[in-house]
């Protein structure tokens, strides 16, 4: 049953405070979030409630009108001030780990990060204040720089996906290097792939084919009023079906890899899966596991260079052999 508009300003105000965050949201987006939660309320009433929050809590809630789309955001998250030092370290450690992957996503978290830093900075214990000297994040492998994503693009695609709406947009096509306008795209979800973020969706609701667009190529995204007919699709299903070109087969195969000992020691500490078997000889470490046939698996194996040999299956051994031969040919 829908909650009536007479539910009470205090109740709605508390809900609105919980819906707001450092990422700016428009009045229409916030109204849509209330409707999703069963509130029967007009957009004008939502605007009145939001403006009342701005007046009552100027330190925490602000109305941004520098450039369209105008909207509301949580300027200073008061609830974070009750963070414990251990929680602050967890927040900052997570941020340190994620920052190289999604720095532009982290923009909306700036105030939370500052609050966590303040908790530690004003802690009586130097052990907490000097936490950066005690914890270090080292991402494995050579790291590429992530592409910059417009903040408004990120805000609007998040809103569209969460509200189940379609979008219109301007996209910079890689093939033509020209801007292309789409009147309607039906987003399904976002996939974080290495240093890139892809929007999975379709520009034809009747077609079965789905596409993956790099998010940084969107010049602008506008949330439409129309309900997205693909909103209930799972992005994970499309990844498993081979979206973005990673899956070569749905079948897991028995893989046996023989590593030089100085390269295989890592499998004493971590596993390819909980079912992985490890055998050690005098000069090698052999692992056996059932693994999906993916291009990612091939690239991972090739990353060990001469320090690994594929023993099984024969097809995988042949693929790796052909790719290595093609690589050697380039250096002749």
CATH topology of domain 246-329: Alpha-Beta Plaits (3.30.70)
* The predicted structure's pLDDT at residue 157: 92
Rg, the chain, Cα only: 25
- CATH classification (class only), 151-243: mainly beta
pLDDT in tens, 228-267: 998 888 888 877 766 665 555 567 899 999 999 999 999 9
Sorted by where each begins, the domain ranges of the chain are 5-74, 78-133, 151-243, 246-329
5-74: which CATH number, 1.10.10.10, 1.10.20.60, 3.40.1160.10, 1.20.1250.20? 1.10.10.10
pLDDT at 258: 97
Query: Of residues 91 and 105, which shows the higher confidence score?
Result: 91
Mean of per-residue pLDDT scores for the chain: 81
Same fold, 5-74 and 246-329: no
Whether residue 118 is predicted with pLDDT greater than 50 in this model: the reply is yes
Contacts of 19-22 with C-beta under 8 Å, sequence gap 24+, read 20/53, 20/61, 20/72, 20/73, 20/74, 21/73, 21/74, 21/77, 21/108, 22/73, 22/74, 22/75, 22/77, 22/108, 22/109, 22/110, 22/111, 22/112
Prediction pTM value: 0.59
Does residue 44 have a pLDDT over 60? yes
Express each pLDDT in 164-186 by its tens digit.
Answer: 999 999 999 888 889 999 999 99
User: According to the model, what pLDDT value does residue 169 have?
Assistant: 95
Q: Higher confidence at residue 64 or residue 313?
A: 313
């Amino acid at each position: 049953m829908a909650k009536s508009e007479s539910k009470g300003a205090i109740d709605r105000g508390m809900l609105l405070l919980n819906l707001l965050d450092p990422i700016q949201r428009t009045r229409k987006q916030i109204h849509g979030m209330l409707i999703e939660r069963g509130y029967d309320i007009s957009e004008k009433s939502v605007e009145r409630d939001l403006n009342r929050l701005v007046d009552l809590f100027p330190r925490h809630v602000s109305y941004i009108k520098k450039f369209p789309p105008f909207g509301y955001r949580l300027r200073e998250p008061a609830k974070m001030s009750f963070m414990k030092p251990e929680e602050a370290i967890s927040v900052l450690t997570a941020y340190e780990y994620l920052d190289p992957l999604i720095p532009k996503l982290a923009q909306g978290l700036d105030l939370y990060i500052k609050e966590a830093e303040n908790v530690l900075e004003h802690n009586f214990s130097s052990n907490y204040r000097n936490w950066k000297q005690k914890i270090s994040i080292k991402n494995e492998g050579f790291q590429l720089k992530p592409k910059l994503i417009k903040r408004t693009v990120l805000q609007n695609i998040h809103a569209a996906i969460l509200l189940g709406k379609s979008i219109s947009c301007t996209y910079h096509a890689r093939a033509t290097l020209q801007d292309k306008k789409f009147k309607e795209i039906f987003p399904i979800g976002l996939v974080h792939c290495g240093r890139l973020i892809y929007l999975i969706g379709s520009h034809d609701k009747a077609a079965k084919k789905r596409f993956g667009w790099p998010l940084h190529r969107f010049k602008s995204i506008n949330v439409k009023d129309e309900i997205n007919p693909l909103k209930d699709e799972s992005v994970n299903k499309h990844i498993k079906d081979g979206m973005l070109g990673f899956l070569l087969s749905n079948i897991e195969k028995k893989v046996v890899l023989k590593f030089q000992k100085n390269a295989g020691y890592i499998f004493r500490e971590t596993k390819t899966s909980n079912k992985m078997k490890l055998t050690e000889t005098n000069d090698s470490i052999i692992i056996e596991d059932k693994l999906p046939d993916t291009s990612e698996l091939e690239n991972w194996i090739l990353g060990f260079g001469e320090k690994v040999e594929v023993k099984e299956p024969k097809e995988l051994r042949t693929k790796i052999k052909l790719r290595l031969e093609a690589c050697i040919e380039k250096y002749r």
